[in-house]
Chain A
Amino acid sequence: MKKADLRSLIFMALCCDLGLFAKKLISPAANFITEFLHIPGGIATSFSLLFLVIAAALMPFPFCATIMGIVQSLLALCFGMTGSMGALAPIGYILPGIMIDLVFFLAEKTSGRRDNGILISSIIASITACLTANFIVFKLSGIVLFVYALVATTSGSICGLLGEKLIERLHPVIGPDKATAKIPYKNKETT
């Protein structure tokens, strides 16, 4: 297991905060769509999870997203940003983190490239967050749950696409050149 340098830890902390507060920032626009569709959410969370995906893709440490999910849940509890999940909010933060790590682990194992897992990890994390919220709070069923999960999947995929682009740009700047040198990225500057 590689040691995390200070720069990586600062970047992870920044992504934790961005993930947490980005949700609040995008909520009004996301609510406009979800209210029109008569579903209780599914868009803002995907955007929030994008920052976990970015950090997990750029930082080559195992359990990166899980650790960030734990930090986010602690911050959320401290700031009272638990929403309707209340004390169970940590589950909603940690489970998507675990799924992101799992997808990146599998992507690296199967293709040897971490960036192959960006889109899928964003989608899977969004679905996990959506189903967790449904299990704990909303308890939807039938077509409402189907549409809710589909919206989460689609917004997760759009955020994943955005994530791919951002990671490609961030890799030469943030990408730990020594630590992730063995992980090839498409970016011309790094190859």
Chain B
Amino acid sequence: MKKKSIVIVIILLVITCIASVFYLRSRNDAPKGNLAIINGDKTVLIDPFSGSLVSVKGITINAKGQEKDVDEIGISLKDSISKSGLDKAGFTKARVVSSDEFAAEISFDEINEDGKAYLAKQQEDDGSTSARLYVFGDSDSKRQVKNVVRIELLNE
């Protein structure tokens, strides 16, 4: 094994560790069980599952074309955005972001369509709850987002 290679790896490891610390410290995550709804410079924290919940039922299709029945409880994406009160400011689409920054975009029309986009309540191993986005009717599961932490309302 070349010494030069080991030195390169160590340098990269150190740089990555430093950058990761800065990044993790700069993150402004919502507390567990809450969702941050952002519209422009306004941010509102909501507990999406605090009120009455509805049945989340539908069929999702994965990349292999396999169908899966979903039967959970949760809240429609439209209602969760309404809870924040930020929908009144107007938006054309929402970007639903998970804790690992994976995101899915849903148009205003899709959000308002009945039976289309839901946040399902998920029970985590540590007893906390998290939200999972389901967009029914998609030909693949690209817009299924686990562990949703943020919804950005965009006007583009």
- Listed in ascending order, the chain A residues whose CB lies under 8 Å from chain B are 34-35, 37-40, 80, 82-84, 86, 119, 137-140, 143-144, 146-148, 150-151, 153-154, 157-158, 160-161, 164-165, 168
Question: When the two chains form their complex, are residues A34 and B23 in contact, meaning their CB atoms are under 8 A apart?
Answer: no
| In the complex, B51 has a CB within 8 A of chain A | no
Question: When the two chains form their complex, are residues B101 and A161 in contact, meaning their CB atoms are under 8 A apart?
Answer: no
Question: When the two chains form their complex, are residues B16 and A138 in contact, meaning their CB atoms are under 8 A apart?
Answer: no
Bound-state CA distance A82–B99 (Å) is 22
| In the complex, B5 has a CB within 8 A of chain A | yes
Given A39-B100, A39-B101, A150-B15, decide whether A86 and B63 contact each other with a Cβ distance below 8 A. Answer: yes
| In the complex, B142 has a CB within 8 A of chain A | yes
Question: When the two chains form their complex, are residues A38 and B24 in contact, meaning their CB atoms are under 8 A apart?
Answer: yes
Q: How far is the CB of A17 from chain B (nearest CB, A)?
A: 18
| In the complex, B20 has a CB within 8 A of chain A | yes
Given A37-B20, A157-B12, A164-B2, decide whether A80 and B64 contact each other with a Cβ distance below 8 A. Answer: yes
Bound-state CA distance A37–B18 (Å) is 12
Q: How far is the CB of B149 from chain A (nearest CB, A)?
A: 9
Bound-state CA distance A38–B21 (Å) is 12
Q: How far is the CB of A25 from chain B (nearest CB, A)?
A: 19
Question: When the two chains form their complex, are residues B15 and A143 in contact, meaning their CB atoms are under 8 A apart?
Answer: no
Instruction: List B residues 56-103 near A (Cβ within 8 Å).
Output: 62-65, 99-103
Who on chain A is nearest to B143 by CB? A84
From A80, A119, A148, B8 is in contact (CB under 8 Å) with A119
Question: When the two chains form their complex, are residues A153 and B101 in contact, meaning their CB atoms are under 8 A apart?
Answer: no
- Taken residue by residue from 4 to 30, chain B's Cβ proximity to chain A (1 for < 8 Å, 0 otherwise) reads as 011011001101100110111011000
22 sample A-B contacts, Cβ–Cβ < 8 Å, listed by A number: A38-B100, A40-B100, A40-B102, A80-B62, A80-B65, A83-B63, A84-B142, A143-B22, A144-B23, A144-B101, A147-B20, A148-B101, A150-B12, A153-B12, A154-B9, A154-B13, A154-B16, A157-B8, A157-B9, A164-B1, A164-B5, A165-B1
Question: When the two chains form their complex, are residues B101 and A140 in contact, meaning their CB atoms are under 8 A apart?
Answer: yes
Bound-state CA distance A34–B147 (Å) is 14
Total number of residue pairs linking A and B with CB closer than 8 Å: 82
Bound-state CA distance A35–B98 (Å) is 10
In the bound complex, residues from chain A placing their C-beta under 8 Å from that of B6 are 161
In the bound complex, residues from chain A placing their C-beta under 8 Å from that of B110 are none
- Listed in ascending order, the chain B residues whose CB lies under 8 Å from chain A are 1-2, 5-6, 8-9, 12-13, 15-16, 19-20, 22-24, 26-27, 62-65, 99-103, 140, 142
In the bound complex, residues from chain B placing their C-beta under 8 Å from that of A143 are 19, 22-23, 26
From A34, A39, A138, A158, B9 is in contact (CB under 8 Å) with A158
Question: When the two chains form their complex, are residues A150 and B63 in contact, meaning their CB atoms are under 8 A apart?
Answer: no
Bound-state CA distance A9–B64 (Å) is 29
Who on chain A is nearest to B4 by CB? A119
Question: When the two chains form their complex, are residues A139 and B16 in contact, meaning their CB atoms are under 8 A apart?
Answer: no
Bound-state CA distance A158–B19 (Å) is 18
From A35, A80, A138, A165, B103 is in contact (CB under 8 Å) with A138
In the bound complex, residues from chain B placing their C-beta under 8 Å from that of A160 are 5, 9
From A138, A150, A161, B19 is in contact (CB under 8 Å) with A150
Question: When the two chains form their complex, are residues A86 and B100 in contact, meaning their CB atoms are under 8 A apart?
Answer: no
In the bound complex, residues from chain A placing their C-beta under 8 Å from that of B99 are 35, 38
